[in-house]
Structure 1
Amino acid sequence: MPTQETTSKWPLAQFVTVALVWGASFLFIAIGLEGLSPAQVVLGRLGSGAVALAGISLATRQKLPTEPAVWGHLAVVSVLLCVAPFLLYSWAEQAIGSGLASIYNATTPLMTTLVAMAALPRERPTTMRMLGLGAGFLGVLIVLGPWRGTGGGALAAQAACLLATACYGMGFVHLRRFVSPRGLPSLSLATVQVGLGALIMLALAPWLATAPVHISPRVVLSILILGMAGTGLAYVWNTNLVAAWGAANASTVTYLTPVVGVSLGVAVLAEPVTWNEPVGAVIAVVGIAISQGRLSGVGRWRRKPAPAGSTANQASSGRTDA
């Protein structure tokens, strides 16, 4: 398993992979809820994700961070990027569809931008980035097709989805500000992050995960994929993206999750495709390109570095020289 230093050379490939894996996660949550409670789904995905990452770390002899401060920051990240949003989405999908949940998930870059404006002065959005974020969100709305009616869903469930994206926004920024500049390997960071999340859920299980369990091969397979891929390996790639592109830019991966959800509906459930879905997908992708500076020729997927050897340069690149 490559380290953050080597895998960060391939941010675009990791961006696409994370979009695919996270886009499918809402479908797997819905299937998991067929036999498990929301808390049991979260416990299963974090537990299987932690086992997968721990196994890879042992096989590659990857050392975990030893600084107490790093573990403290990763505990915060674990709550904000794993425990809280996973519980909120699993609870919400009892009342609303997985597609609608994935649409709400696409507001994560907007939440992240709001947090980054206050916490990360170097990542305050430019006019072009805001234009790109707006275009991306417009594309998501077109994919949703609100003029056709979305089926509504409980208001509390939809509010829970928005609260989950707020957690993601704070988690992205905390990771970027306090963890990424240390230049630690992504695998070790993800292993600790997901492992701490699994321990937190184990501690909460006697109060939250006591509902009857109805196991089926379909449910078990969904939880394993959700945990090992969506919660395990995806967090390695996500850590690389935050370090390489910054918090707000990395979070734009969520613009593609509704597109993946629509594609899965067509491929797996034979759902019909209407004109607004491919049009919205194109607009979302263009918005991402604008926010990354690919269309304007500015940024080249990461900010212009500060003078060599400066502390600002180390922080903005997500690495240290150590």
Structure 2
Amino acid sequence: MEDMASAQHAPGPFAVRDWFLLLASAAGWGTSFLFIKIGAEDFAPATVAWLRLLFGAAALALVPAARVPLRVPRDRWSVVLLGLVWMAVPFVLFPAAERTIPSALAGMINGSAPLFTVLIAMLVTRKSPGTHLSFGLAVGFLGVVAVNLPEITGGGSATGVLMVLGATALYGVAFNLTGPLQARNGALPVIWRAQLAALVLSTPAGLLGLGASTPTPTALAAVAVLGIISTGVAFACFATLVGRVGAARASLATYLVPVVAVLIGAVAGEPLRPLSLVGVVLVLAGAYLSARVPRRAEVTPAGVSPR
């Protein structure tokens, strides 16, 4: 499997395999919100996160490229930090939030991850945003407000919304951390080791949460699919796509995730509010505009990485 640093990216149209990898990644991540919600009905949030990581790391362990040693051994502690901010903490926040808010709403809010990524990169580099970037960020965060406003004003859980926003902001931090790590060591070795680190960090709380859980076959099946498909297969597909077409083009998968989440939520019978749908469009537009800042004024994250 090609890694991010060494692959020769094809400049032409996507091949059939590339489209399959793109859609598989988006589908795996977009459906994850519904599986989280189902799992959180019977398992404690920490246990949902722990089982997700357990199944996901086991699935990625079957991919030989993931087991390749890190080329830069000193990066191992950075990978542990990555596992904390990318997986261990957000994977708990999402099921905790989805006990009080719809899965589709969580997916919509998660669509703002590219905005947080660019904003955090801007803060780290201390570069002033140009007009183009400021406009993109403003449009995107207006969308975030529009997505959340119906839930909060309608008597929904502001705490649940804030937890998802916190998890999404942590994704922005993680995406800035993971770029250099993946460039030096390859995508899958970094992702798998980050999952292992997060699994170790979450094991005490996950085991403790079993005491507050009432496991059912449905919930166990949901977290198994969440781990194997959304946390294992989807990450492997995205890493392969990055190696084939480059990080910028592969990041299109990120923009499809909230669309999939909304559609799956609608099929599951969750309510769809018009203002929230308008907000999704604004979030995606803002993320797209922020990602297309002219190069001379560009403020970009260190890399693009999967959810």
- Give the shorter-chain TM-score range: 0.7 to 0.9
Alpha-carbon distance, 1:53 to partner? 0.3
Query: Which of residues 131, 134, 143 is equivalent to 2:138?
Result: 134
**1:1-12 matches, cutoff 5 A:** 1-4=1-4, 5-6=6-7
Letter in 2 for 1:155: A
**1:104-119 matches, cutoff 5 A:** 104-119=109-124
1:91/1:7 CA distance change after superposition, 3 Å: farther
Structure 1 Cα separation of the partners of residues 26 and 37 of structure 2:
18
Equivalent position of 1:36 in the other structure: 43
Alpha-carbon distance, 1:32 to partner? 0.7
Q: Does 1:70 align with 2:62?
A: no
Q: Does 1:54 align with 2:61?
A: yes
Q: How many residues align?
A: 290
Give the SS at the match of 2:182.
helix
1:171/1:235 CA distance change after superposition, 3 Å: same
1:162/1:28 CA distance change after superposition, 3 Å: same
Alpha-carbon distance, 1:95 to partner? 2.1
Equivalent position of 2:289 in the other structure: 290
Equivalent position of 2:268 in the other structure: 269
Q: Does 1:27 align with 2:38?
A: no
Superimposed CA distance per residue, residues 16-46 of structure 1 (whole angstroms, 9 cap, x where no aligned partner):
5443322221111001122211111111110
Equivalent position of 1:171 in the other structure: 174
Equivalent position of 2:158 in the other structure: 155
Give the SS at the match of 2:42.
coil
My pick for the range that moved more, 222-231 or 42-51, is 222-231
TM norm structure 2: 0.76
Alpha-carbon distance, 1:157 to partner? 2.7
Letter in 1 for 2:94: Y
Alpha-carbon distance, 1:186 to partner? 1.4
Structure 1 Cα separation of the partners of residues 135 and 126 of structure 2:
19
Superimposed CA distance per residue, residues 147-180 of structure 1 (whole angstroms, 9 cap, x where no aligned partner):
587644333333222221222121111222x413
Superposed CA RMSD: 3.8
Equivalent position of 1:227 in the other structure: 227
Alpha-carbon distance, 1:275 to partner? 5.9
Superimposed CA distance per residue, residues 167-218 of structure 1 (whole angstroms, 9 cap, x where no aligned partner):
2121111222x41341x221212111112212222244344443233221x3
Superimposed CA distance per residue, residues 106-164 of structure 1 (whole angstroms, 9 cap, x where no aligned partner):
33333323321132468x6543233234334445555x484587644333333222221
1:222/1:74 CA distance change after superposition, 3 Å: same
My pick for the range that moved more, 35-44 or 280-289, is 280-289
Structure 1 Cα separation of the partners of residues 230 and 124 of structure 2:
27
Aligned 8 A contact 1:136 1:255 in 2: no
**1:81-100 matches, cutoff 5 A:** 81-100=86-105
Letter in 1 for 2:63: I
Alpha-carbon distance, 1:273 to partner? 6.4
**1:158-307 matches, cutoff 5 A:** 158-176=161-179, 178-182=180-184, 184-216=185-217, 218-236=218-236, 237=238, 240=242, 244-245=247-248, 256-266=256-266, 268-269=267-268, 282-293=281-292, 298=294
Give the SS at the match of 1:64.
coil
Structure 2 Cα separation of the partners of residues 7 and 98 of structure 1:
38
Aligned 8 A contact 2:60 2:232 in 1: yes
Q: Percent same amino acid at aligned positions?
A: 29
Aligned 8 A contact 2:55 2:224 in 1: yes
Equivalent position of 1:310 in the other structure: none
1:211/1:271 CA distance change after superposition, 3 Å: closer
1:16/1:151 CA distance change after superposition, 3 Å: farther
Structure 2 Cα separation of the partners of residues 200 and 133 of structure 1:
33
Alpha-carbon distance, 1:102 to partner? 2.4
TM norm structure 1: 0.73
Structure possessing the higher relative contact order (Cα contacts under 8 Å, 6 or more residues apart)? 2
1:263/1:150 CA distance change after superposition, 3 Å: farther
Structure 2 Cα separation of the partners of residues 208 and 92 of structure 1:
16
Give the SS at the match of 1:211.
coil
